[in-house]
């Protein structure tokens, strides 16, 4: 009973929902990235490593230039470069997408530690580097509304950027030339080719865009609230984005909801750490709930497909 009370009390706190948005941000940015590459027909498994490298580069560049924004650009550029390498191997050299992605993740987890040690002499975290953080933003009018202000105002700037990007990605798929080309290249590459869409180039662009968005997610991790890089700090968020992306099935708004679900679980697990539940079960919960949501989604689509087929054959 105590635990139920704890949970209910947590759910009534505005801070809880504030933290939900905060935890959802990196996953949301990565989900959008994963969505773009996946709609173009390539699944980007290297998101995890891309995010890690971007987080690392952001900290290093901001520490050496003493400018948070140049650090941010560095992180985004790092994401761009890594996804370029991935695109080169997948599209030009015809490598297996999953295995090349795993290779880049291996490279990221070891490579970041290798360079971190070269610069700081430590392997764990960049505590000794004077790296900077990106600012948080107060929204003028919303700030003063009692509960909503506490939830929606004062977030990190990239949280707002990620919400704007949800609309931007939705708009891109629905109304722009590039968005339609990406969808066509993913759904039917031969047909797209036959009407003159440069499929390979479109796929290349889609992968690079996913890298840019994932780079932002990396910057949020290391230059958001924490302000330092620690080895393996992405903790599977790149993989979670693969699941939330699959749940979204190309719809940016659903992608946002799925990311918020992860943010909800993560935030809940942060709040419940002092309750009676063993710590490991709390840490496990976000992953478990995403698995359940994803499987339920897959089962539902499968069921819908079957009933539709049944109806079609019954009609004859």
Partner 1 sequence: MNKKFTAIRLFCAFAIAMAITTAVIFAVSEEPLTAIYNLTLGPLQSKRHFFDVFASSVPLIFTGLALGLVFKSGNFSMITDACLYTGGVVTAALAIKTAMPSGIHPVVIMLAAAVIGGLIGSIPALLKVYFHANELVTSLMFNYVFFYLGIYTVTRFLADREAGTFASQKYASTAALGTLLSGTKFHIGYLIAIAVVILLYLLVFKTKFGYEVRISGSNPSFAKYSGINTGKVIILTQVIAGAVAGLGGSVEQMAMYQRFNWQDSPSYAWDGVIIAILSGNNPKFVPFAAFFLAYIRVGADLMSRRSDVQNELVSIIQAVLILFVTAERFMAGWKQRQEAKKALGGDK
| Residues near partner 1 (CB under 8 A) | 45, 89, 92-96, 98-100, 102-107, 109-111, 113-114, 117-118, 123, 232, 236, 239-240, 242-243, 246, 278, 280-281, 283-284, 287-288, 290-291, 294-295, 298-299, 301-302
Nearer to partner 1, 99 or 145 (CB): 99
Q: From the CB of 39, what's the least distance to partner 1, in Å?
A: 16
Minimum separation from the CB atom of position 181 to partner 1 (A): 24
Q: Compare residues 163 and 277 and give the one whose CB is closer to partner 1.
A: 277
Kindly give the residue spans of alpha helices, DSSP state H, lying in the chain: 2-11, 14-39, 47-65, 68-87, 97-120, 146-152, 157-175, 177-187, 189-194, 199-223, 237-248, 252-271, 279-315
Closest distance to partner 1 from the beta carbon of 240 (Å): 7
Q: Which is nearer to partner 1, 104 or 151 (CB)?
A: 104
| In the complex, least distance from residue 204 CB atom to partner 1, rounded to whole angstroms | 15
Q: What angle do CA 228, 272, 283 make, to 5 degrees?
A: 60
Joined tokens for residue 18: 């504030």
Residues 2 and 10: their CA atoms lie apart, in Å, by 12
State the minimum distance, in angstroms, from the CB of residue 27 to partner 1. 13
Which residue, 274 or 280, has its beta carbon nearer to partner 1? 280
Q: Let me know the angle formed at the C-alpha of 54 by 48 and 59, rounded to the nearest 5 degrees.
A: 130
Question: For residue 22, what are its two tokens?
Answer: 């905060």
Nearer to partner 1, 68 or 199 (CB): 199
Helix, strand, or coil (residue 230)? strand
Contact partners, residue 14, CB within 8 Å, separation at least 6: 147, 150, 151
């Amino acid at each position: 009973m105590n635990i139920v009370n704890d949970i209910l009390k947590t759910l009534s706190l505005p801070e809880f929902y504030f933290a939900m948005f905060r935890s959802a941000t990196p996953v949301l940015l990565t989900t959008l990235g994963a969505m773009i590459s996946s709609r173009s027909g390539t699944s980007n498994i290297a998101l995890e490593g891309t995010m890690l490298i971007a987080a690392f580069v952001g900290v290093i560049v901001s520490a050496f230039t003493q400018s948070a924004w140049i650090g941010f650009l560095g992180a985004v550029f790092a994401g761009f470069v890594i996804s370029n390498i991935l695109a080169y191997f997948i599209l030009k050299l015809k490598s297996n997408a999953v295995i090349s992605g795993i290779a880049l993740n291996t490279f990221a987890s070891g490579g970041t530690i290798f360079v971190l040690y070269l610069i700081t002499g430590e392997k764990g975290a960049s505590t000794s580097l004077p790296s900077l953080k990106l600012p948080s933003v107060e929204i003028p009018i919303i700030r003063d509304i009692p509960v909503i202000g506490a939830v929606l105002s004062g977030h990190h700037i990239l949280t707002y950027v990620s919400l704007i990007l949800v609309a931007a990605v939705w708009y891109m798929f629905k109304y722009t030339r590039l968005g339609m080309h990406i969808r066509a290249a993913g759904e039917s590459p031969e047909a797209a080719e036959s009407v003159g869409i440069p499929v390979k180039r479109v796929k290349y662009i889609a992968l690079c865009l996913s890298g840019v968005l994932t780079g932002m997610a990396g910057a949020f991790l290391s230059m958001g609230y924490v302000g330092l890089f620690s080895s393996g700090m992405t903790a599977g968020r790149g993989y979670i984005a693969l699941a939330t992306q699959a749940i979204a099935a190309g719809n940016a708004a659903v992608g946002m909801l799925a990311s918020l679900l992860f943010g909800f679980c993560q935030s809940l697990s942060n709040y419940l750490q002092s309750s009676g539940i063993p710590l490991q079960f709390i840490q496990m919960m976000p992953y478990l709930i995403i698995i359940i949501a994803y499987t339920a989604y897959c089962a539902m689509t499968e069921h819908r497909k079957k009933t539709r087929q049944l109806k079609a054959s019954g009609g004859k």
